[in-house]
């Protein structure tokens, strides 16, 4: 179905089935980048050879975009414009013959005006690059595709006083002074790489330095570059880097391969960080930490992200992707490696719970939207739109399933095989799975469907106990919904981890991996002495929805007795969801909502059982399921109703458990110096969730606690926790603390981001005015992605109630913002549309209002491919 008036597609679609290799071999590129204020001159000299001299002499077509061309030279001779042409994509010339030839481009760019933050751009006083996926074509003309790999050298020239630090990939091989107060540095990368891994930086930066001795005894110099004022915030990132390097040696046998590893922190960045060879570039928000400025969650996320980028050196750089459809080859695998690392260095149980929650709250809705796509998509208009939860997180879960099916030892053999077989290659997802097959001897052809079929499978489970035969029979059935362009899908290969819990809490069969491969399958467990309580999908063994009707009594039992932490938490979430169900039904019937005595009693018992032993898990288990989870089970979704029920449940829980929560609050006060131990982090988390529930139960009491916590806070976790607990209140004290926070931290951009985030995420009657006021605040900046995400991203993704305001004004302001950002930073603009992709899942008045705004965006004029793709697919699916 197409919507009326939809303009003909102005942007080209790229299809996986059209893949063909580049017809030329590239034998080295030498870049010279001369930076001047307001213009940068780039000279690139590249050597090409026709790959198949006996075949057709195909045209040489290079990508290039937004550059002024000063000259093109073929074998050092100026090429006159009749001998080439400029296409929509770049540069085209007839094949100059079968002999190797060099092509030199002299071009001019203006990084100062580059607000897309792709290619070479300026962030504050710093010049830096972002080339994944297609940024290099904004620097020079080149086959900007990941399967074209070559050696890069890069000479950078710039003013010495203002830009003393000049960095690129690999090793610095020359440096010196030039006339006019200028200087240069030449860098050479000994490893062949695709253009998307190119990076350079020129700026006035401080750095910290450390060293790592690799497993074969080589010394690697490690540096983290920041603005001088931030260099005291780089130490934790350095520790994380060393931890990552060590872990990758131990867990995967992967050794770092250069003598230098640099990280640079930049304030304007479209994503979290980037794995450029030997020169990682990080968003400041994903590398800088200090206990008084950063929350525990930021510390832990940063450790993982440093790991993620470092792990890419093998899974991404040494073995890269053949084309961008294979993105999950590097991202899914690296997310899995990051998750393993995160679990190895911190509390594995809660790390896994957070991973599961991320998949369910962010990836499942994507799978249930018009932008649903397989882990390996087969077409795109703008590849930036496919850096998604599906490619990353579901892709990570797909690798995790392989690890489960093969077992850790065989998986390690298979990954060793992958790295040795494909080192230096641009590979495909099939290549990866083939290594898993070859190392294990298993047939994984059905497993490959995880890469091809979009949508979240549901596993329907039914259990039956036969006391006479002492058997427990489990019937599992799978189904997979239709998604855009895909219907009637085949059953997938799903590992279902199962435990059976006896009456005294013992695991009767340990944890068994059942392999569900057919549409319906029956599994029988023998020698089961009495009726067990089943625990399915332990550890979230597959990214599926489990549909199993379970009495609340069994859920309460599992909440205390399940030996699997994820499933303990999940049982609690399921209980809470049942309370949401009842509340929403009562709300719809305009009946008074239940005070949920059984739920609160169960939570009370849970606190008693866990408060001294399992603090981190307890903190997770006291939190109600997020809006996205509740919304998924109540479609069409009425966010206002969900909010009412949520407030009610928080109030009844906070009231019924006030004494216990107060005790938790007091008993977990921090003592001594800042520590990031799992125990210290858990105590702070527990206190913050207790505080939130106490505020819901009794505003005046809660405010007193929050104010004292805010004022006595030693860490950002405590300070922000206090503010968060009261952020949705319409009270003077709240406003007073908010402005105090701003005044205290206004010189710290990353803390100001948190101040914006907190307010944009607050659910208040005044939410529309609140958001307008934030957008008009002098510290708001449309060109800085962190700031834009702090306000508009938090509002759209972290404030379901406020965003889906019944007036529809939230949608209108978001559409205005997207139209404006379309001209500044299309990739950031397109991402803001994420919550509107699911417009059909909302109650009709809201759905219509969202649709109107999406249509307004579509009609608004010159749309970038990024925004066009999301809006058109969202409307037309």
Binding residue for ligand 0A1, selected from 270, 390, 456, 825, defined by CB under 6 A: 270
Q: Site size for ligand 0A1, by CB under 6 A?
A: 14
Query: Concatenated DSSP letters for 616-683?
Result: HHHHHHTSPPPHHHHHHHSSSB-HHHHHHHHHHHHHHHHHHTHHHHHHHHHHT---SS---SHHHHHH
Picked from ligand 0A1, Zn ion, none, the partner binding residue 130 (CB below 5 to 8 A depending on kind) is ligand 0A1
- Fill in the per-residue mask, 126 to 165: x = in contact with ligand 0A1 (CB under 6 A), - = not in contact: ----x-x---------------------------------
Given the rule CB under 5 A, which residues bind Zn ion? 331, 334
Chain centre distance of CA 349: 20
Residue 382: CB minimum distance to ligand 0A1, A: 11
579/471 Cα distance (integer angstroms):
33
Nearer to ligand 0A1, 266 or 371 (CB): 266
Rounded to whole angstroms, the Cα distance separating 436 from 217 reads 30
Q: List C-alpha distances in Å: 18 to 157, 320, 330, 745, 804.
A: 40, 19, 21, 52, 41
479 burial (CB, 10 Å; 0-12 / 13-18 / 19+) is: middle
Complex with Zn ion: residue 301 or 770, whichever CB lies closer: 301
Smallest separation, CB 196 to ligand 0A1 (Å): 8
Q: Which does 715 bind (CB under 5 to 8 A by kind): ligand 0A1, Zn ion, none?
A: none
By beta-carbon distance, which residue lies closest to ligand 0A1? 271
* 387 contributes a contact to ligand 0A1 by CB under 6 A: yes
Closest of 187, 203, 540 to residue 351, by C-alpha: 540
Decide if residue 275 touches ligand 0A1 (CB under 6 A): yes
Q: For residue 791, what is the DSSP state?
A: I
By the 8 A CB rule, do 41 and 108 touch?
yes
Q: To the nearest whole angstrom, how small is the minimum distance from the Cβ of residue 331 to ligand 0A1?
A: 5
User: How far apart are the two ends of the chain, measured CA to CA in Å?
Assistant: 7
* Min dist. Cβ of residue 414 to ligand 0A1 (A): 22
Identity of the residue, 336 or 842, whose beta carbon is nearer to Zn ion in the bound complex: 336
Residue window 325-344: x/- pattern of binding to ligand 0A1, with contact defined by CB under 6 A: ------x-------------
Q: Please list the active-site residues.
A: 309
- Distance between CA 611 and CA 614 in Å, rounded? 6
Task: CB nearer to ligand 0A1: give 309 or 596.
Answer: 309
In the three-class reduction of DSSP (H, G, I as helix; E, B as strand; rest coil), residue 15 is classed as strand
Residue 270 interaction partner, one of Zn ion, ligand 0A1, none, beta carbon < 5-8 Å per kind: ligand 0A1
Q: Which is nearer to ligand 0A1, 275 or 869 (CB)?
A: 275
> Which position among 29, 109, 238, 274 is part of the footprint of ligand 0A1 (CB under 6 A)?
274
Cα–Cα distance for residue pair 782/825, rounded to 1 Å: 9
Whether the link from the prior residue into 133 is cis, omega within 30° of 0, is yes
805: left (phi over 0), alpha (psi -120 to 50) or beta: beta
Of 166-174, 225-233, 270-278, 562-570, the segment contacting ligand 0A1 by CB under 6 A is 270-278
CB atoms within 10 A of CB 522: 12
Q: Cβ 351 to Zn ion, closest distance in Å?
A: 18
CB of 327 to ligand 0A1, least distance (A): 9
Asked if residue 716 binds ligand 0A1 (CB under 6 A), the reply is no
Output 375 or 737, the one with its CB closest to ligand 0A1: 375
Q: In what order do the strands lie in the sheet with 85-86?
A: 60-63, 90-93, 85-86
Query: Using CB under 6 A, which of the segments 242-250, 251-259, 267-275, 790-798 binds ligand 0A1?
Result: 267-275
Using CA atoms, how far apart are residues 742 and 747, in angstroms rounded to an integer?
9
**How many Å apart are CA 348 and CA 715, to the nearest integer?**
24
C-beta of 128: minimal distance to Zn ion in Å? 18
Give least dist CB 265 to ligand 0A1, A. 14
Interface with ligand 0A1, residue 273, by CB under 6 A: yes
* Three-state secondary structure readout of 148-175: CCEEEEEEEEEECCCCCEEEECCEEEEE
Binding stretches for ligand 0A1 (CB under 6 A): 118, 130, 132, 270-275, 308-309, 331, 384, 387
């Amino acid at each position: 179905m197409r919507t009326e008036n939809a303009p003909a597609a102005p942007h080209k679609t790229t299809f996986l089935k059209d893949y063909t290799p580049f017809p030329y071999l590239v034998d080295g590129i030498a870049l010279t980048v001369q930076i001047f204020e307001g213009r940068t001159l780039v000279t690139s000299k590249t050597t090409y050879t026709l790959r198949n001299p006996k075949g057709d002499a195909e045209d040489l077509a290079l990508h290039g975009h937004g550059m002024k061309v000063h000259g093109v030279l073929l074998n050092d001779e100026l090429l006159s414009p009749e001998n080439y042409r400029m296409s929509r994509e770049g540069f085209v010339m007839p094949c100059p013959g079968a002999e190797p030839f060099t092509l030199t481009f002299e071009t001019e760019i203006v990084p100062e005006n580059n607000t897309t933050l792709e290619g070479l751009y300026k962030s504050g006083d710093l010049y830096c690059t972002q080339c994944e996926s297609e940024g290099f074509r904004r620097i020079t003309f080149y086959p900007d595709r990941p399967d074209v790999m070559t050696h890069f050298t890069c000479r950078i020239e710039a003013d010495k006083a203002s830009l003393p630090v000049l960095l690129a990939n690999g090793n610095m091989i020359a440096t010196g002074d030039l006339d006019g107060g200028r200087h240069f540095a030449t860098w050479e990368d000994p490893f062949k790489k695709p253009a998307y891994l190119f990076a350079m930086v020129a700026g006035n930066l401080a750095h910290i330095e450390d060293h790592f001795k690799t497993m074969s005894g080589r010394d690697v110099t490690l540096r983290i570059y920041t603005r001088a004022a931030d260099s005291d915030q780089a130490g934790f990132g350095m520790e994380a880097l060393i931890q990552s390097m060590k872990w990758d040696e131990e867990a995967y046998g992967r050794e770092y391969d250069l003598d230098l590893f640099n990280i640079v922190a930049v304030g304007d960045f479209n994503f979290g960080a980037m794995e450029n060879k030997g020169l990682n570039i990080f968003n400041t928000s994903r590398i800088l930490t200090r206990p008084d400025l950063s929350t525990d969650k930021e510390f832990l996320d940063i450790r993982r992200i440093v790991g993620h980028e470092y792990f890419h050196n093998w899974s991404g750089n040494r073995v890269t992707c053949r084309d961008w459809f294979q993105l999950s080859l590097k991202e899914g695998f690296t997310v899995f490696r990051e998750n393993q690392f995160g679990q190895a260095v911190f509390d594995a149980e809660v790390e896994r719970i957070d991973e599961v929650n991320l998949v369910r709250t962010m990836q499942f809705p994507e799978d249930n939207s018009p932008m649903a796509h397989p882990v390996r998509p087969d077409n795109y208009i703008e590849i930036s739109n496919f850096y998604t939860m599906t490619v990353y997180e579901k892709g990570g879960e797909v690798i995790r399933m392989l690890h489960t099916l093969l077992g850790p030892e065989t998986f390690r053999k298979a990954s060793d095989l992958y790295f040795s077989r494909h080192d230096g290659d641009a590979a495909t997802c099939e290549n990866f799975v083939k290594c898993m097959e070859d190392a294990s001897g298993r047939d994984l052809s059905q497993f490959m469907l995880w890469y091809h079929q979009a949508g979240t499978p549901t596993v329907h489970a039914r259990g039956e106990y036969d006391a006479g035969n002492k058997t427990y029979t489990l019937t599992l059935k799978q189904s997979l919904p239709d998604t855009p362009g895909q219907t009637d899908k085949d059953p997938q290969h799903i590992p279902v981890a199962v435990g059976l819990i006896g009456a005294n809490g013992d695991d009767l069969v340990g944890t068994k991996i059942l392999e569900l491969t057919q549409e319906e399958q029956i599994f029988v467990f023998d020698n089961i002495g009495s009726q067990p309580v089943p625990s399915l999908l332990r550890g979230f063994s597959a990214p599926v929805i489990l549909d199993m009707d379970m009495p609340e009594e069994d859920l309460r039992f599992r909440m205390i007795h399940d030996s699997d932490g994820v499933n303990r938490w999940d049982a609690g979430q399921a209980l809470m969801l049942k309370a949401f169900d009842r509340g929403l039904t009562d709300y719809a019937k305009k009946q008074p909502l239940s005070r949920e005595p059984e739920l609160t009693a169960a939570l009370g018992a849970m606190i008693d059982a866990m408060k001294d032993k399992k603090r981190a898990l307890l903190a997770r288990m006291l939190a109600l399921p997020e809006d996205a989870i509740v919304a998924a089970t109540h479609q069409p979704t009425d966010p206002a109703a969900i909010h009412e029920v949520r407030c009610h449940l928080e109030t009844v829980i906070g009231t019924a458990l006030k004494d216990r929560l107060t005790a938790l609050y007091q008993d977990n006060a921090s003592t001594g110096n800042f520590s990031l131990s799992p125990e210290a982090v858990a105590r702070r988390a527990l206190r913050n969730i207790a505080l939130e529930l106490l505020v819901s139960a009794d505003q005046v009491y809660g405010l007193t606690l929050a104010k004292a916590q805010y004022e006595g806070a030693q860490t950002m976790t405590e300070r922000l926790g206090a503010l968060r607990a009261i952020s949705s209140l319409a009270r003077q004290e709240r406003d007073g603390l908010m402005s105090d926070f701003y005044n205290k931290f206004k010189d710290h951009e990353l803390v100001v981001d948190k101040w914006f985030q907190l307010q944009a995420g607050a659910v208040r009657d005044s939410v529309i005015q609140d958001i307008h006021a934030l957008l008009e605040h002098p510290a708001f900046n449309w060109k800085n992605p962190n700031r834009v995400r702090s306000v508009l991203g938090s509002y759209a993704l972290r404030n379901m109630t406020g965003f889906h305001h019944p007036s529809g004004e939230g949608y209108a302001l978001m559409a205005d913002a997207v139209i404006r950002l379309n001209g500044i930073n299309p990739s950031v603009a397109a991402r803001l549309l994420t919550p509107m992709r699911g417009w059909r899942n909302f109650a009709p008045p809201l759905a219509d209002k969202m649709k109107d705004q999406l249509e307004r965006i579509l009609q608004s004029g010159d749309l970038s491919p990024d925004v066009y793709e999301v809006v058109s697919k969202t409307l037309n699916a």
